[in-house]
Amino acid sequence: MKTFPQSDLLTKLPKQFFASLVEKVGKIAAEGHDVINLGQGNPDQPTPDHIVKKLQEAASNPQNHKYSPFRGQMYFKKAAAEYYKREYGVTVDPEKEVAILFGGKAGLVELPQCIMNPGDTALVPDPGYPDYWSGIAMASAKMEYMPLTEENGFLPDYEKINSDVLDRAKLLFLNYPNNPTGAIANEQFFQQTVELAEKHNICVVHDFAYGAVGFDGKKPVSFLQTPGAKNVGIEIYTLSKTYNMAGWRIGFAVGNVSVINAIELLQDHMYVSLFSAVQEAAAAALLDSQECVDELVGMYESRKNTFISGLQEAGWNVSSPAGSFFAWLKVPEGFTSEEFSDYLLTKAHVAVAPGIGFGEYGEGYVRAGLLASEERLLEAVERIKGLDIFKRA
């Protein structure tokens, strides 16, 4: 059969590092071992019943079987605006400042193609979500990495970025609560970000995927709560984590009018918006009782406390995340992150994600997801404890 070569665009895309992790986990499981998979980022709980029922009801409406409006249903945009007003005190114009997305990932990958040209520079966190790299590659743009270190609370240190790099930069990616480190940002940091963006004419995109998940009574801060934020950027919100709707593929971008318009213009050429029944169910998620969200965050916090305290009792010197549903764990001496990930998988049948997959500054850590029951997390702790590796160290 004739083989057609892939386009230059496809050959420039970054390799999917985590595809190899999935393959490794699948191989161990196929051998008959019980693998506790903490390496993934896929919520393990079902979507709340009232949201599912709204979808079922909306799916039976023949009006929803037609094409949606190109830029989505206004009732969903209004729901997003009402959500931001209620949760963060931020006023949003649903007609001009909201773009509906096919999940947060789609917006993050689309954005560089909307406002960057070949050779332009984007600032990305290291470690960070690898799909930031994908959108930049699709735009034939360049990346400059911002190290996230424990010493600086896993926040980028803007003073350490070369002024020439800042002058060249067109786009700045941020993500708090952070994947993979579990760090959160405060108002002061976001104010510094706005000032930096104003000075150097940089568009900020804040990936707020884990916006609902903060621990110890601390509600994560929205970038848009910062004075001047809408003037310099946008925030991308997904329903995947807040409402366990990962498979539904729905989210939205909020903020700067010109950036929102650019996203919608690109999407005009790619989609005819989302199935309207999904938009109805998503609006219900945002507007109805948030008790399900409170329960979910409470569950993650309980899991976090159980897991972290168990690892500490086992002798592993680890820190507790401030938000998200990930724990960022230092690997013991004598291992790289990938070696330790492989060691836990083969010796304890516990899967974690090696930090190097998130960037150079992820080396020395592994990421564990709090996406298994407390019983399974405790079992993972016991298996790791049984290796005696920390006792030997």
345, 262: one domain: no
94, 106: one domain: yes
Residue 185 lies in a domain: yes
Residue 61 lies in a domain: yes
Which stretch of 3-17, 71-85, 220-234, 310-324 has the lowest confidence by average pLDDT? 3-17
Residue 346 lies in a domain: yes
Alpha-carbon gap, residue 315 to 23, rounded angstroms? 30
Domain range for 42 is 8-47+291-392
Q: Is-contact 225 90, C-beta < 8 A?
A: yes
Query: What pLDDT does residue 346 have?
Result: 95
**Ramachandran region, residue 142 (left: φ > 0; alpha: ψ -120 to 50; beta: rest):** beta
Alpha-carbon gap, residue 192 to 259, rounded angstroms? 21
236, 135: one domain: yes
DSSP H stretches of helix in 254-323:
257-268, 276-287, 291-313
Token pair 């707020």 is found at 208
For residue 335, what are the contacts with CB-CB under 8 A and spacing of at least 6? Answer: 343
**CATH value at residue 34:** 3.90.1150.10
393 — pLDDT class (breaks 50, 70, 90) = very low
Residue 380 lies in a domain: yes
Which stretch of 22-26, 56-60, 64-68, 379-383 has the lowest confidence by average pLDDT? 22-26
Report the number of secondary-structure helices (H) and strands (E) in the chain: 16, 12
CA atoms within 13 A on the CB side of 76: 25
Cα distance from N-terminal residue to C-terminal residue, the chain: 56
* 268-307 pLDDT per residue, tens: 999 999 999 999 999 999 999 999 999 999 999 999 999 9
Token pair 């903490």 is found at 38
* 56-81 pLDDT per residue, tens: 999 999 999 999 999 999 999 999 99
Residue 21 lies in a domain: yes
Alpha-carbon gap, residue 43 to 52, rounded angstroms? 16
Alpha-carbon gap, residue 393 to 275, rounded angstroms? 55
CA atoms within 13 A on the CB side of 194: 19
Tokens of 36: 């506790």
- Give the H/E segment covering residue 334: none
Tokens of 302: 């309980």
Alpha-carbon gap, residue 305 to 322, rounded angstroms? 11
- Smallest CA-to-CA distance from 336 within 357, 310, 321, 318 is with 357
58, 158: one domain: yes
144, 102: one domain: yes
- Taking the model in full, what pTM does it have? 0.96
Alpha-carbon gap, residue 374 to 368, rounded angstroms? 13
16 — pLDDT class (breaks 50, 70, 90) = confident
211, 116: one domain: yes
Residue 373 lies in a domain: yes
Query: What pLDDT does residue 314 have?
Result: 93
335-341: average pLDDT? 96
Of 218, 253, 287, the residue at which a domain comes to its end is: 287
pLDDT at 378 over 70: yes
103, 140: one domain: yes
* 341-376 pLDDT per residue, tens: 999 999 999 999 999 999 999 999 999 999 999 999
Q: What is the chain's mean pLDDT, rounded? A: 96
87, 12: one domain: no
Alpha-carbon gap, residue 267 to 383, rounded angstroms? 47
22 — pLDDT class (breaks 50, 70, 90) = confident
Angle, helices 291-313/374-386, rounded to nearest 10 degrees: 10
Residue 38 lies in a domain: yes
Q: Is-contact 107 263, C-beta < 8 A?
A: yes
**CATH value at residue 118:** 3.40.640.10
Number of independent structural domains in the chain: 2
Tokens of 105: 């990932």
* 158-198 pLDDT per residue, tens: 999 999 999 999 999 999 999 999 999 999 999 999 999 99
Query: What pLDDT does residue 19 have?
Result: 80
186, 272: one domain: yes
Query: What pLDDT does residue 392 have?
Result: 53
Residue 2 lies in a domain: no
What is each CA distance from 217 to 120, 133, 213, 276, 298, in whole angstroms? 40, 33, 10, 35, 10
56, 35: one domain: no
